[in-house]
Structure 1
Amino acid sequence: MKTIKVLSALFLAFQLTAYAQEKNDSNTPKTYAEISVKEGGKWVGQKYEGGTFKNVTSLKVPKSHWDHSFFIRYEGPGWESNKVGYRLYLDWRNAIDIFGKVTDSLVLSKVGQDGFESYHHMSSWGMDILKAGKALGIGSIGRFSGNEVLHFKEVDSTFAKVENGTKSSSVTVTYNGWKTAEDKIDLVSKLSIAPNERHTKHTIKASKKIKGICTGMVKFKDVELVKKESKNKKWAYIATYDKQTLVPDNLGMAIFYKVATVEAQPESQYDHLLVFKPTKKEVTFYFLGAWEQEKDGIKTKEEFYQYLDQKLAELNQTNKI
C-alpha cells in the first residue's frame, strides 16, 4: 500500500510539473514587433549622428529620413514569430526583408544595436538573408506603371505604430499623400504575424481607386517562379525555392493571394508582381519565407511545396491561415 501511495504521489507531481511547464510555454511570447529610433544625437542633412537607440510604440517619420540615415535601428519596424523575422525599410524603398533565424527565441530586440553591418553576417540567432536591392523584397507595396515599379519617393507624411498581443504582433503604417504619376492617395498597410507561423498577413486599404497598386517578390536569375491556383480558383500562390540568400543557401518564398483581387501578374526588371484591381476596399494577402537553416525547418524544395499546398488548402476552406 505504501508503495502505491508513493507512486501515486510521484505521478501527481509529474502531472503538476508537466501542467506548469505547459502553462509556462503558453504564456511565453512567441511573436514580437518593434520600432527603435535614435535620440540624443542630431540630424546632419539626411544622416543622424550620435545618439542611442530607444524603442517607441509609434513614429512619425522625420522629413530628413532617407535610406541609410542611421536613425531607425535596422532601417524600419521589425516583426517576428518564433520561426522567422521580417523588417520594412521605412523610407522611399518600402521593401520588406527577411531575418532568417536558427533559434526559436525572439531576437529582434538584439538586432542592429551595434550598427547596420553586423546582421548581414551569421550570428548566434541567424542573419539578414534576403538581398532586396531595388526590388520590393517580399510582400511589400508599390505601384506598377507598366514599365517599372514606383516606390514611395513622394509622400506627405508616414506614420508607423507597433502592437504586441497574446495572439499576434503587428506593424501598421499609414502613408498620407503618396504621389505616383498623376495620382495622390493615402494608403494604410497592416502587417501581422502569429505564433508558430512563418507567414505575415498583409492588409492594405487605399483612399481611392487607382490602377497599378501591387505587391511582389524579388526575382533571381535562373530561379523558377511557380504558380498554383486552388481547384475552385479562389486562392492561389506564386513561389520560388532555390539558393537565393546572402549566405548563399536555400530559401523558399511565397505570396498567397485571393484570385478575385488580382488584375495581372507582370514581370518587372527586379520583381515577380501581383497587380491588384483598383479598389477602396481592404485587400488581404499573405507572404512568407522558409529558410533551410531555420530550427526544425523545411529542408528541401519538395517539402516546401508540400507545405505551400497545405496552406493553400487551408485558405480555400477557411479564407484565412
Structure 2
Amino acid sequence: MNSRIVLGAFALTALVACKEKENKNIVEEIIEIEEVQPTTYAEISVKEGGSWKEGTREYIDGSFVNVDEMEVPEQHTDHSWYIRYEGPGWENKQTAYRLYLDWRNAIDIFGKKVDTLVLPYVGTDGFDSYHNEAPWGQDILKAGQSMGIGGYGRFTGDTIAHFNEVEKTHVKVDNSNSSSSVTIDYKGWKTGDVTTDLESVISIFPEDRFLKAELTPSVSFDGLATGIVKFDDIPLMQETSETGEWAYIATYGVQTLAGENDKLGMAIFYKTDEAKAIEGPHDHLVVFNPSTKTQTYYINSAWDQEKGGIKSEEAFKKDLQTKLSELDNNGKLE
C-alpha cells in the first residue's frame, strides 16, 4: 500500500474481489479485507492545478493531492499554502506527528482523541484548521523558534541553525504492513562553513507513541542536534539505562495549545556513546558526535486527552523506564 491509497477504499476493494471469485461468501471476503486495514500511515499532500503568485512565495488556488514523492519547489517556504499541513505526517492509532518541510524543519504533534487514522482529513477544511479543537483532536505543540520535538538542525554554540540554505530537498513516503516512513534527502545543506547532504528516515510503527529517527550526513561535522522545545516552569527530566548505553531527556506538564490544564509528556531517547545532552536557547538539546555514521534516536510523546492514554507524570515516567529497559535489552524500539 502506498500514500495514494484512499483509506475508505478497502470496502470497495473487497466487493470487487468478491465478484471476481466464485464460491466465496461476500461477507467473509469483506471481513478478510478489513482485517488487513493499515495500522500505520504516512503521507505528503501538495497542491495541483494552481500557480505561484508572481512576486511572492505563495501558491494560489489548486487542490491537494497525495503523492508518493516530490522535490520541494524553490519558492516554497513557511505559509506558502502549497503543502497540506506544511509537510509530511506520520500516524498510528495512538498518535500523529508532522514535520515542517521548510526552513524551520521542526516536528510538531497532532494530539488524537480517537483511535482511527485521521491524517487524510487534517487541513482539508481550511489550511490551518487543525489549530482548532476538533472531534479527532488538534495540533497541540507550539514550536516557535525551536525544533519542536525531535526535529533536527546544527547547534553552533549559541543558536540552532535550521534549514535556511539548502540546494534541493526531496521527500518520499513509504507505507507497509509493519511500518510507515518518510525519507527526506537534503542536498547541499549549508550552515556556517559546513556544507553537507543529509538523509533523514523517520518511521512509525503499529503500536505506541514513538517515532524512530535516523540521520545520515555525508560529511563529518560538529553540532548535528535534535531536541525538545523549552517551556517556562517545565523542568527537564533525565535518566540513563542500567547498562549506561541509552539515556533520555524528557519534559512533562502544561505545555500544549489545547488548554490551561492540558498535560503533555515529551522525550528523546539517544545512545550515550553517540551524543550528549546540553541546553540550547530554545531547546533541551541532544548533540551528536561528529560522524558520517547513521545517528539513531527515538521521539516519544504522550497527551493526556489521548483515548486510553497516559494521564499522569508518574505513568509517563513509568512508560519511559519501560522503553529504556527495552532499548537496553534489544537495542531498539519497534
TM-score by length of 1: 0.92
Distance 1:82 1:230, change over 3 A: same
The answer as to 2:273 corresponding to 1:255 is no
C-alpha contact 2:249 2:277 (8 A) present in aligned 1 = no
* Aligned partner letter, 2:52: W
Q: Which residue of 2 aligns with 1:280?
A: 292
C-alpha separation in 2, matches of 1:298 and 1:24 = 32
* Preserved contact between residue 264 and residue 302 of structure 2 (Cα < 8 Å): yes
Contact preservation (8 Å) 2:85, 2:128: no
Distance in 2 (CA, whole Å) between partners of 1:22 and 1:56 is 29
Name the structure 2 match of 1:236: 247
Per-residue deviation, residues 75-120 of structure 1 (Å, max 9, x unmatched): 0000101100000000000000000000110000000012333111
Superposed, which structure 2 residues align to 1:180-219 within 5 Å?
A: 180-219=191-230
Distance 1:210 1:93 in 2: 20
The TM-score normalised by the length of structure 2 is: 0.88
1:116 aligned counterpart, secondary structure: coil
2:91 pairs, out of 68, 72, 80, with 80
Counterpart in 2 of 1:99?
A: 110
Match of 1:174 among 177, 185, 203: 185
The correspondence for 1:223, drawn from 222, 226, 234, is 234
Q: Give distance in 2, aligned partners of 1:275 and 1:23.
A: 47
How many corresponding residue pairs?
Answer: 302
Say if 1:96 and 1:136, in contact at 8 Å, map to a contact too: yes
Unaligned 5+ segments in structure 2 are: 1-27
Q: State which of 23, 30, 43 in structure 2 corresponds to 1:34.
A: 43
Give every structure 1 segment of 4 or more consecutive aligned residues whose post-TM-superposition deviation is greater than 2 Å.
19-26, 114-117
SS in 1 for 2:315: helix
- How large is the Cα RMSD of the aligned pairs? 1.5
Contact 2:64 2:84 in 1 (8 A): yes
Q: What residue in structure 2 maps to residue 148 of structure 1?
A: 159
Q: CA deviation at 1:254?
A: 0.4
One of 58, 62, 83 as aligned partner of 2:69: 58
Give the alignment partner of residue 138 of structure 1, picking from 126, 149, 166: 149
In structure 2, what is the Cα distance between the partners aligned to 1:139 and 1:273? 9
- The aligned runs of 1:112-131 (5 Å cut-off) are 112-131=123-142
Q: Is the Cα contact below 8 Å between 2:49 and 2:62 reproduced in 1? A: yes
Query: SS of the counterpart of 2:149?
Result: coil
